[in-house]
């Protein structure tokens, strides 16, 4: 969705050329610039390798956005910086990442009213008595195992307000070469470097995710976002009527 009434952050005055994958909004650069080099490098590479801005454009311009598995908060910050009319809540199981995410939010000038981070347990699900304008899950499900992943998506779908949407950015397992590369890289992140906490690395078929979203009465469309990327990015958009 367009960000009509919103506050796009001004372009960086120096650094990578606008329009290249490495170019980030100035607010995002500012947010992480005082973090340890490993976090600066990690968030830079994630920005360049994932179409964060394409996902952000599918959010409603205003309202309450829940991101499940927000990591260092890169997408949550992107969503909050792109529109003054959004309130964003990011959750993750990794407390150390959230410490950095909170500092980054502060450095970007976002107070708790605009962006809040909460540490949760691995089996946490959105509460059934609170609905969101949007729920977002980016590259989390492959860490959970298929059954827990589908259970989380079902709970996320139930947490979407009428008129709201669930955005799930995962990998398209039917693009086999790209999916194989992705699994190898994620095994390195979880088992070797331990940048990412997770039980397993198991890509969840998009068909299974779509079915769970449809069962929760969402109208589901799929956007291929892999063009120009080595990863088989795909975005499922579940719209509640």
Ligand X SMILES: C[S@@+](CC[C@H](N)C(=O)[O-])C[C@H]1O[C@@H](n2cnc3c(N)ncnc32)[C@H](O)[C@@H]1O
Binding footprint of ligand X on the chain (CB under 6 A): 46, 68-71, 74-75, 92-94, 97, 120, 122, 138-140, 143-144, 196-198
Q: What does the alpha-carbon distance between residue 182 and residue 190 come to, in Å, rounded to a whole number? A: 12
Q: How far is the CB of 13 from ligand X (least distance, A)?
A: 25
Cβ distance to ligand X smaller for residue 70 or 204: 70
For residue 140, what are the contacts with CB-CB under 8 A and spacing of at least 6?
68, 69, 152
Cβ distance to ligand X smaller for residue 60 or 69: 69
Per DSSP bridges, beta strands 132-138 and 63-68 are parallel
Give the nearest residue (CB) to ligand X: 71
Cβ distance to ligand X smaller for residue 94 or 217: 94
Cβ distance to ligand X smaller for residue 191 or 219: 191
Q: How far is the CB of 31 from ligand X (least distance, A)?
A: 13
Cβ(221)–Cβ(215) below 8 Å: no
Please state, as a whole number, how many other Cβ atoms lie within 10 Å of the Cβ of residue 77.
29
Q: How far is the CB of 94 from ligand X (least distance, A)?
A: 4
Cβ distance to ligand X smaller for residue 133 or 139: 139
Cβ distance to ligand X smaller for residue 140 or 241: 140
Which parts of 111-225 are beta strand (E)? 115-119, 132-138, 160-171, 219-224
Write the burial class of residue 17 (CB in 10 Å: 0-12 exposed, 13-18 middle, 19+ buried). exposed
Q: How far is the CB of 122 from ligand X (least distance, A)?
A: 4
Q: How far is the CB of 233 from ligand X (least distance, A)?
A: 11
Q: How far is the CB of 76 from ligand X (least distance, A)?
A: 8
Q: What does the alpha-carbon distance between residue 30 and residue 109 come to, in Å, rounded to a whole number? A: 9
Per DSSP bridges, beta strands 115-119 and 233-239 are unpaired
């Amino acid at each position: 969705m367009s960000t009509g009434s919103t506050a796009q952050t001004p372009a960086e005055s120096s650094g990578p050329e606008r329009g290249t994958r490495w170019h980030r909004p100035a607010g995002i650069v500012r947010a992480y610039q005082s973090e340890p080099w490993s976090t600066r490098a990690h968030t830079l590479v994630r920005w360049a390798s994932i179409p964060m801005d394409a996902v952000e454009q599918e959010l409603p311009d205003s309202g309450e956005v829940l991101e499940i598995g927000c990591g260092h908060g890169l997408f949550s910050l992107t969503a909050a910086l792109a529109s003054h009319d959004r309130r964003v809540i990011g959750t993750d199981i990794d407390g150390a990442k959230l410490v950095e995410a909170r500092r980054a939010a502060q450095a970007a000038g976002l107070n708790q009213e605009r962006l809040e981070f909460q540490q949760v347990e691995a089996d946490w699900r959105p509460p059934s008595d609170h609905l969101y304008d949007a729920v977002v899950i980016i590259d989390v499900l492959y860490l959970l195992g298929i059954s827990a992943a589908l259970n989380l998506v079902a709970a996320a779908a139930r947490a979407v307000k009428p008129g709201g949407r669930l955005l799930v950015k995962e990998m398209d397992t039917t693009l086999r070469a790209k999916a194989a590369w992705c699994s190898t890289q994620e095994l390195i992140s979880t088992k070797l470097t331990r940048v990412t906490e997770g039980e397993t690395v198991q890509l969840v078929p998009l068909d299974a995710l779509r079915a769970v979203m449809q069962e929760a009465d969402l109208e589901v469309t799929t956007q291929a976002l892999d063009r120009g990327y080595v990863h088989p990015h795909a975005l499922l958009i579940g719209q509640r009527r």
